[in-house]
Amino acid sequence: MKLNIEGLLVYFPYDYIYPEQYSYMLELKRTLDAKGHGVLEMPSGTGKTISLLSLIVAYQRVSSAFPLDVTKLIYCSRTVPEIEKVVEELRKLMEFYAKETGERNNFLALALSSRKNLCIHPEVSSLRFGKEVDGKCHSLTASYIRAQRHVNPNQPVCRFYEEFDAVGRQVPLPAGIYNLDDLKDFGRRKGWCPYYLARYAILHANIVVYSYHYLLDPKIADLVSKELAKKSVVVFDEAHNIDNVCIDSMSVNITRRTLDRCQNNVDTLQNTIQKIKETDAAKLREEYRRLVEGLKEANVARETDIYLSNPVLPDEILKEAVPGTIRTAEHFVGFLRRFLEYLKSRLRVHHVVQESAPQFLKDIFDKVCIDRKPLRFCAERLQSLLRTLEIADIADFSAVTLISNFATLVSTYSQGFTIIIEPFEDRTPTIANPVLHFSCMDPSIAIKPVFQRFQSVIITSGTLSPLDIYPRILDFRPVTMASFTMTLNTFNVCLCLVALSSKFETREDFAVIRNYGNLLLEMSAVVPDGIVAFFTSYVYMENIVASWYEQGILENIQRNKLIFIETQDAAETSMALEKYQEACENGRGAILLSVARGKVSEGIDFVHHFGRAVIMFGVPYVYTQSRILKARLEYLRDQFQIRENDFLTFDAMRHAAQCVGRAIRGKTDYGLMIFADKRYARADKRGKLPRWIQEHINDGSLNLTVDETVQLSKHFLRQMAQPFRQEDQLGLSLLTLEQLESEEMLQKITQIAHQT
Amino acid sequence: MASLSEEVLLVVKKVRQRKQDGTLYLMAERVAWGPEGKDRFTVSHLYADIRCQKISPDGKAKIQLQLVLHTGESTTFHFANESSALKDRDATKELLQQLLPKFKKKANKELEEKNRMLQEDPVLFQLYKDLVVSQVISAEEFWANRLGGINNTDPAVVNNKQEVGISGAFLADIRPQTDGCNGLRYNLTADIIESIFRTYPAVKQKYSENVPHNLTEKEFWTRFFQSHYFHRDRINTGTQDIFSECAKQDEKGLKSLVIQGVKNPLVDLLSLEDKTLDEGYGICTTLPSTSNANKTVKESSNSAIIKRFNHHSAMVLAAGSRKGVFTSLLTASSSETSSTDGNSRDSDFFQPPVKKVKLQEAIEYEDLQRENRPKTVALNLKKSDRYAHGPVPLQSQHYTTSQDIINSVNYIRHEMMNYKPNLTEVLSSTAASSAIAALSPGGVLMQAGAQQAINQMVPTEVQGELKHLYVAAGELLRHFWSCFPVNTPFLEEKVMKMKSNLERFQVTKLCPFQEKIQRQYLSTNLTGHLEEMLQTAYSKFHIWQTRRMMRKT
């Protein structure tokens, strides 16, 4: 259908539309018009992605006519399947455009992923791990390797990259929609490297779909996304975890093993320098000259040299020259040694130390006379050296790279970071295992360049409640914040809050565990097909499973359904998942025991019969005893005036909502959501759940006993098993174009968006 | 000789049968006997027809051998050669002993199958009694189109019982009971043992290796229940445990499954993340020093339990669909071979179809599209509660369609509107009362309602007989009608035979029944319909016959 959204013609590739989709597009358009940032929460399964794409594509098409133009859409999602899904939806939209307008528009949209998913080199692509693929690829495509080939023709290089480098850049990628597999196909046909082709093509593509890391991790963003146009719209989908992604990309951990490996690296560097000095001293002199001139070459260097990566390169560094103390190679290696020795001495502590970055800098100056300035150039200087020494396998030098990145970060930011040195793990105080955590506490540091650079940034997800917390922790000013609910003619969600407790103090209690077991047992007899149960942590799940096993509860559950359990091994869990789906598919029914915050809870959907019930055992609080978390909470309180408890509850609730939302993936889907903990009934917890869940909580479903829950679910499931009919939905939760245009409906739609 | 090509295995002269001298021949497929001086066999039995042989006790004067057939008949041969009678008989016996089992299997299979069908289906059994035992049609004819599947020897057809899966909790069903003196008793049934074998092939292998040479069956199971393998949470104590190997094998199987990876890319957790953080970055890095050494005993036993459950469920699932697993293994191996001969890129070519389909499924919003699937009839529930709470006792009702009811209501309403009492033309009171009497139960006009009374009027044994007659007649008629259109000589022959069968049926079965009910003064109407059916068949036959005659002339 063709929609008119405040004067903008939007092609929507379906015959019907959900009211909330319309409302979503409305808010989105207002955000784009205002050239501002937005936070939009809409439950999953309401066609968020297609609404977003429809509107932004429409916006792009008319951008020449509009004064406010948008040239590019950068769509960031979390997992590879999500990325591919987005591209497929886009393809659908474009096909609809072609059908309706009768012309092929010259839109270029593509997905970008890591080398592991795009490589077509027969040897390289057969490697299993992403890191190996990257390393191998690098050893075939680095600029000096290729330069060596001129001298020595036997030097192996990647023919796909050579071909791309020779021809690929001149010919732009033909317009179209390219998913990962399409890129590979295209690459094979042309004999070009799909990865570099994609990286090159994103500069002029209309729509780019890739993972968060390409924008948020400065090490990668610097390489890939640096030159993307300013007039872009950036969308972070499934963004409820975005703060953690930001923090992760800026934090560093140093263990004794890291330092040992670093020591080896430094020794190797020393030897290589010695060798080069004897054979090719001119090379080192040349490097010295360049360093005097400054770091301008950072921009000139080839894209293939991932050496360029630097956690954060403030502008002033680029303009300055590398300080004299670390300019010669030997001096720099000596400098590294001193730094390393200092770190080693710091790790020899017997009690926990926590200090800020300035304290650390002061200490290092006092102890080993290392100044702040050379530290700041450390990362850059190391890259230059590695390049000069022509070291092929950079994967080997990850330890020294890590240390130098740490040096740069610690000397660049005086705020937002903390250093914690723990001599042992809390659980095993007898075993010395010192770790230096340099942890970022301020997610806004990593995301700041994104907000600054791009015209509009949209943060969207199914669970973003409470909405106001994201602008605060990410430090930006949104023009729109809205939460949309799911309109339904019948409630396809039955929510039960079971009055069981799993407070940290009582959760090892025998009775609590047995009650949980009984709940699961009863549900396994009532619910058809699949049930997913989430626990608060992996250790807790292990303990519960063990005691259920002893009490014979699991055996009884097995009479009803097969049991599959998430393990810490991803491959094993994948297999269990597949078997779980198979068991749901063939009618036997199965139960999956899983962990909140685990991989399953974050990335796997349980549509339709794969998840007819979700049970959340306990409230998934983060492990509060961790010092890093404590430091972060303190920081949040001091900097953003967010109280510890508020943040913890918010964090627990978003994970609970994520887990529970896994089962409902659309309006034709239905399922039970069971929160098995009485703490959920409290106002402070309930209030932090997304609106679309809150709406289903009524007093009748609060504080239920196990028996009541069973009765309620029986009734609900029987009702829901009736056929789903479009006629019942039409006019309420499903609209035709005419219905949409009626005055009354427009009135209603304005109420869907819940502004804050 | 009758058939020249047959291989003769043994010839024994001077064998008497029914007081006649003759020669006994044992051939490849049959045993035959011919009288002296004649050129043909008077006795000939296929080995397949022979159920068993009997010999006379050693001390007896007559040295005889009796062949008992499946049909119950028997033939006795008397070995009359004075010098070598015993030797002849023993030679014959030995050879038959070797030959019979070969054919027995085939015969038995068929026989068993027939037997099974008769036992499982009482109606068929009755039919068999009515038609075959009373010799209306021969047994061969009877079985001819029922046993089509047997000769195909397609196990799927013969054994069309659906395969039963395995209960997920079969291990839980083996509840140990204390026997009072510090011991446990496990009750194993054949079902449970089979479940164990099907789920854990490794145990089955151990079983066949060890039982009964090394262990008795009881010992085997005792050890099984004591083993670490069974109780995963226990710590492995000894290495002599014969099941420790099973555990290893399972582990291996699990590992190979894991390495094989998953087919559905949407559940592959390994390739979910696009870009992982490099080592050393990030907040919650896994603690690097967590080796197995400092894992507590409890932790490792916990994870063993978890592993066990995953494995158990996977195995149960696989056992339920053995065939499926097998084929998937086949396809997996075939794709593997093709990926080894090309380079590894080929594996990519196999992936996309599954992936594409899954992706398309994932982005589908079926309710947003206009429906274009075939319209299905939805259950229209007036009272959904009744649906939800199970069946209520059904009251016998006369069902009329709603259209009928509406029509009749309209009709009655119409009638009532136009009703004008015409008092001059009412019935006389006597006529009215007689009409009422006629319409009351037992009245003349109410006899038409005898339909429902038939089960009261006719004694049950007659009813049963009638039922049997119907079934038998139906069967014969089915045979008869299946001959049309008659387009082969074989069918022609069959139709003739069937016609005579029908006639015989009428004479031997139907007529006596009719007489019987006449004797009991029951309405002869009971068999009217049967006769009608037979008449239809006859007339059809006549039409066909006259036509055939015309064509011939």
Determine how many CB atoms are found less than 10 A away from the CB of residue A358.
Answer: 14
pLDDT at A302: 37
Neighbours of A608 (CB within 10 A): 18
ipTM rounded to 2 decimals: 0.83
Scanning A641-682, the segments in alpha helix (DSSP H) are 644-661
pLDDT of residue B298: 67
CA distance B304 to chain A (A): 10
Q: Give one word for B236, left, alpha or beta, with left for phi > 0 and alpha for psi -120 to 50.
A: beta
For residue A418, the cross-strand partners are A439
Mean pLDDT lowest among A29-43, B154-168, B532-546: B154-168
Q: Where are the alpha helices (DSSP H) in B121-177?
A: 122-128, 139-144, 148-152, 155-158, 170-173
SS3 A240: helix
Chain B residues whose CB is inside 8 A of the A590 CB are: 313
Residue ranges of the alpha helices (H) in B211-321? 217-226, 244-260, 297-320
- Residue A211 and residue A220: Cα distance in Å, rounded? 11
Q: What is the mean pLDDT of residues A220-226?
A: 77
Whole-number Cα distances in Å, A681 to A677, A685, A691, A698: 8, 7, 15, 10
Token pair listed for A251: 């934090």
Average pLDDT rounded to a whole number, residues A164-192: 89
B543's CB contacts (< 8 A; 6+ apart) are none
Helix (H) or strand (E) segment spanning residue B475 = helix B460-481
Q: State the pLDDT confidence band at B234, using cuts at 50, 70 and 90.
A: low
Q: Does A543 lie at the interface with B, CB-CB under 8 angstroms?
A: yes
Dist CA A347 CA A345 (whole Å): 5
Alpha-carbon gap: B208 to the closest alpha carbon of chain A (Å): 28
DSSP one-letter string for B48-71:
GGEEEEEE--TT-SS-EEEEEETT
Contact B388 A184 (CB under 8 A): no
Contact B381 A605 (CB under 8 A): no
What end-to-end distance do the CA atoms of chain B give, in Å? Answer: 42
- Cα separation values, A742 from A7, A738, A749, Å: 16, 7, 11
Mean of the pLDDT values across residues B179-199? 75
CB contact under 8 A, B343 and A722: no
pLDDT confidence of residue B344: 37
Average pLDDT, chain A: 84
Contact of A11 with A54, CB cutoff 8 Å: yes
DSSP B448: G
Taken in order A521, A525, A528, A529, is the CA torsion positive or negative? positive
Give the mean pLDDT of A412-441: 85
> Least CA distance to A130: which residue of chain B?
B275
Nearest residue of chain B to residue A714 (CA atoms): B388
Instruction: Verify whether the Cβ–Cβ distance A588 to B388 is below 8 Å.
Output: no
Other CB atoms within a 10 A radius of the CB of residue A700 amount to: 9
**Cβ separation of B262 and A578 shorter than 8 Å?**
yes
**pLDDT at res. A513:** 87
- Point out the least confidently predicted range of A254-258, B205-209, B345-349: B345-349
CB B247 within 8 A of CB A183: no
| Between residues B332 and A67, the one the model is more confident about | A67
Q: Using the beta-carbon criterion (under 8 Å), do A726 and B267 form an inter-chain contact? A: no
Residue A148's H or E segment, with its range, is: helix A143-151
pLDDT, mean over chain B? 73
- Chain B hits for A670, CB-CB cut-off 8 Å, are none
DSSP state of A417: E
pLDDT in tens, B470-508: 888 888 888 888 888 878 888 888 888 888 888 888 888
- Residues sharing a CB contact under 8 Å with residue B504, sequence separation 6 or more, in sequence order: B136
Q: Which residues contact A99 (CB under 8 A, 6 or more apart)?
A: none
Rounded distance, CA A15 to CA B81, Å?
99
- In terms of Cα–Cα distance, which of B383, B401, B400 is closest to B392? B383
Report CB contact under 8 Å: A92, B172. Answer: no
User: CA A390 to CA B83: how far, in whole Å?
Assistant: 107
In this predicted model, which residue has the larger pLDDT, B312 or B381?
Answer: B312
A111 and B CB contact within 8 Å = no
pLDDT score at A418: 92
Average pLDDT over residues B1-14: 69
pLDDT in tens, A377-392: 888 888 888 878 877 6
* Mean pLDDT value across residues A742-755: 75
CB contact under 8 A, A244 and B283: yes
Q: Contact at 8 Å (CB) between A449 and A481?
A: no
Shortest Cα distance, chain B CAs vs residue A151, angstroms: 30
Residue A688 to residues A464, A613, A641, A692, Cα–Cα distance (Å): 9, 22, 18, 11
Total count of residues recorded for chain A: 756
Structure tokens at A471: 């602008």
Measure the CA–CA gap between B130 and B473, rounded to whole angstroms. 10
Cβ contact A376:A408 at 8 Å: yes
Is B306 within 8 Å of A402 when comparing Cβ atoms?
A: no
Strand B8-17 to B20-27 pairing: antiparallel
Strands A671-676 and A613-617: parallel
DSSP SS3 for B17? strand
**Which positions in chain A touch B175 (Cβ < 8 Å)?**
none
With CB atoms and an 8 Å threshold, state whether A574 touches B305: no
- Report DSSP state, residue B400: -
Least confident stretch, A22-31, A403-412, B156-165: B156-165
Note if the bond before A172 is cis, omega within 30 degrees: no
Are residues A255 and A425 in contact, defined by beta-carbon separation less than 8 angstroms? no
Residue A526 near chain B (CB below 8 Å): no
Chain A residues 282-341 with a CB less than 8 Å from chain B: none
Chain A residue with minimum CA distance to B299: A542
Instruction: Report chain A residues whose CB lies below 8 A from the CB of B339.
Output: none
Query: Out of B171, B299, B365, whose CB is closest to A666?
Result: B365
CB–CB of B270 and A666 under 8 A?
no
Whether A489 has a pLDDT exceeding 80, the answer reads no
Task: Give me the pLDDT at residue B105, please.
Answer: 65
What is the rounded average pLDDT of the residues A125-145? 82
User: pLDDT exceeding 70 applies to what percent of chain A?
Assistant: 91
Beta-carbon separation of A572 and B258 below 8 A: yes
Distance from CA of A516 to the nearest CA of B (A): 18
DSSP string covering A25-38 = HHHHHHHHHTT-EE
Cα nearest neighbour of B350 on chain A: A181
Give SS3 for A199. helix
Instruction: Over range A193-203, report the average pLDDT.
Output: 90
d(CA B225, CA A744) in angstroms, rounded, equals 71
Question: Which chain B residues touch A562 with a CB distance below 8 Å?
Answer: 168, 313, 316-317
Report whether pLDDT(A753) > 50.
Answer: yes
**Chain A nearest CA to B237, separation (Å):** 20
pLDDT 10s digits, A233-247 = 999 998 888 998 889
Q: Which of A221-230, A368-377, A446-455 has the lowest mean pLDDT?
A: A221-230
Q: How confident is the model over A133-157, as a mean pLDDT?
A: 82
In one-letter notation, the amino acid at residue B551 is R
Residue corresponding to tokens 């080592």:
B279
CB pairs under 8 A between A and B: 251
Higher pLDDT, B191 or A210: A210
Structure tokens at A746: 């427009």
CB contact, 8 Å: A257 with chain B? yes
Instruction: Quickly state the pLDDT bin for A755 (edges 50, 70, 90).
Output: low
Residue B286: HSE in the Cβ half-sphere, 13 Å Cα cutoff = 9
A628 vs B contacts (CB less than 8 Å): 283
pLDDT band for position A337 (cuts 50, 70, 90): very high
Edge-to-edge strands, sheet with B64-69: B43-46, B30-35, B20-27, B8-17, B74-79, B64-69, B50-55
Percent of chain A scoring above 90 in pLDDT: 26
Whether A64 has a pLDDT exceeding 60, the answer reads no
Q: How far, in Å, CA of B2 to CA of B16, rounded?
A: 20
B261/A131 touch (CB, cutoff 8 Å), yes or no:
no
